[in-house]
Amino acid sequence: MTAAPAAAPKPAGTASTATVLAPVDGTIEPIDQVPDETFAEKLLGDGFAAIPKSGTIVAPVSGKVSTVAQAKHAVGITTDAGLEVLVHIGIDTVQLNGDPFTVKVTEGRQITAGDPIVEVDWNAVRAAGKATDVIVVFTNPALVDALAITAAGAVTSGSPVGTVTTK
């Protein structure tokens, strides 16, 4: 009787580290300070937010646009490493039925970090009584090995705010 062949070694991990960019000109806010329990309690995953000072929202990471919400208030991006990133614009803004948002991307499109993804009329958002936090959430936390948001205070749209490392 012959011994079973030894199992092939597992391939090296596909871990990668990506720079995460500010989605908007504004001020960085820890996710646990977002005025919405779903985000603050990290029910969708870890991340960060920015209090906006401009109306152009840019992609915080490179990847493929996986989702554009019907209400135009959120865009999902999947990186080459498989990381799912949600850019959610405002709190309870789904109720605005897309009116203050002009989406600049389509599902399936490959984008580069820093590319404009949505233009927002913040005056309309505020007039509707909605908070303006722009939230970036990594929605498949099992793939995240480390998230380090190192920026604090004022940030410029498209500038590095930290890194995310996948497993």
d(CA 125, CA 146): 33
Q: CA Rg, the chain, in Å?
A: 18
State yes or no: is 88 an active-site residue. Answer: yes
Closest-CA residue to 82 (of 69, 105, 64) = 64
**Identity (one letter) of the amino acid at 83?**
L
d(CA 34, CA 132): 10
d(CA 94, CA 157): 23
Given the residues 72, 73, 88, 130, the one annotated as active site: 88
d(CA 55, CA 18): 25
d(CA 28, CA 34): 11
d(CA 154, CA 152): 7
Report the catalytic residues. 88
